Amino acid sequence: MAATGLLRLPQHPAGSTHPMDEHAQQLLDLQGQDQPVLQGKVQEQLDQACLALSIALLDHTLKGDLFDSTLVGFLAVLGVDPARQNFRDPYGYTSYLSGLVKMAQMLVALQAVRLAETGQVTHPADALDEMRERFLLYGVRAPFGWITRLRTYGKKIQNSTTAMGYIYWSDDEQTLSYKDLQMSMQGFRQFIASQVQLAQAELAQLFLLHEEEVREEVVPQLALHELQDDPTNNQRGWNFLQDPRTRKAMPTRGERWLLDRVLEADWLREEFMEIHQIGQRDEVLWREGPVAQYLQQVDRFLQRLLLLVHITGGQPGRATELLSLTHSNTKHSRHRSIFIEHGLVSTVTTYHKGYSISNSTKIIHRYLPKAVSELVVYYLWLILPFCQSLQRLARGQRGTASPYLWPAGEGTWGNQA
């Protein structure tokens, strides 16, 4: 059967277009028009039509020719590797099947919520249970059952077949080869050293030093080996910087150090603030330009710090592990995941892969080298409080500050996790 004959959309009344096509065309016609309310309504209708089509691709019985199913036909085409002009091996193909299984589960959950919102069911669980039993269980005569059976078969082959060797070390154990890529240990060390130097330079900019100032004479010195922590303290908002022993070891309180610099130094005050006379009093306003520029510099520093924490803390974690790091206990009684231990910053994350099989999570401890630990502590100690002050004073933000080291919506990592 030709590949083009495999993909057939679910049946629709003859002579009519699919609602998804109609709403998409309406949305295209509205482009460039100042009608945000109507555009939002049509976009919502298009999203709902796409969701209905996705559910239809899952919710049908497999009988006779399997390739009458659009989804089965799609997976058949996906099994061909266009680069190598042959079929994909089980190791690569089962990953696609797992991704499709997860997407199907999320789409069904969304459909259940939508049905509850429109009053078609009392509770999302009612629709979820009904759809799950009909076409989302292992062994059902539906595309999902066929996919899960095929994935099980593929994993069985994968586990009983010797995998291709892509990674190997040189005889002197100093060069690692992966496919066409070669990397020496010396080059890797140089890369880490250069990234640390760049991060230190970006951190120096965040201290707002004048060109005539010397960092060692202005910025408080940090003695990592003197910092202490109490991992058992679960008080809301608490972190190692609030430990009395750490406060005693610190040369200054960091909550207002940068803010006081801006308020006390004439050149910084002129850069960040302007005074407007209103009636008989003067009102101090923060300049949006310098504030936005400073926060962008913080963003760039955090990007570099993300890279360093990822590759210097031992076995690299997944994005969901790394981006879940919290420097303070949360308001929902969740314990923080950044600690101080023996002069180094340690991170603690939970690993959930295989939870459905083992019914347990793995607790992973990682330790950052001294140079990277220093970057983390300086950021939490002096830079973060000033950023929070800018958000509050210059932009009027209210509410509890985020406990995350890389908060959602405040950096380029928000949409890449």
DSSP string, 282-316: EEEEE-HHHHHHHHHHHHHHHHHHHHHHHHHSSSP
Which residues partner with 276 through β-bridges?
283
Of 6 and 133, the structure prediction assigns the larger pLDDT to 133
pLDDT, position 8:
45
Q: What is the C-alpha separation between 406 and 411, in angstroms, rounded?
A: 7
Q: Is the pLDDT of residue 196 over 90?
A: yes
pLDDT tens digit sequence for 89-137: 888 899 999 999 999 999 999 999 999 998 999 999 999 999 999 998 8
Token representation of residue 157: 């082959």
Q: Is the pLDDT of residue 313 over 50?
A: yes
DSSP string, 121-183: SSSHHHHHHHHHHHHSSTT-SSHHHHHHHHHHHHHHHHHHSPPP--EEE-TTS-EEEETTEEE
H or E element at residue 267: helix 266-272
- Taking residue 351's Cβ as centre, other Cβ atoms within 10 Å add up to 14
- CB-based contact 227:340 (threshold 8 Å): yes
Q: What is the C-alpha separation between 285 and 273, in angstroms, rounded?
A: 6
* Alpha-carbon distances, residue 413 vs 63, 304, 328, 417 (angstroms): 45, 11, 20, 6
The overall average pLDDT reported for the chain is 86
Task: Report the candidate in 299, 311, 274 with the shortest Cα–Cα distance to residue 205.
Answer: 299
- Taking residue 200's Cβ as centre, other Cβ atoms within 10 Å add up to 16
The model's pTM: 0.71
pLDDT tens digit sequence for 343-363: 999 999 887 666 556 667 788
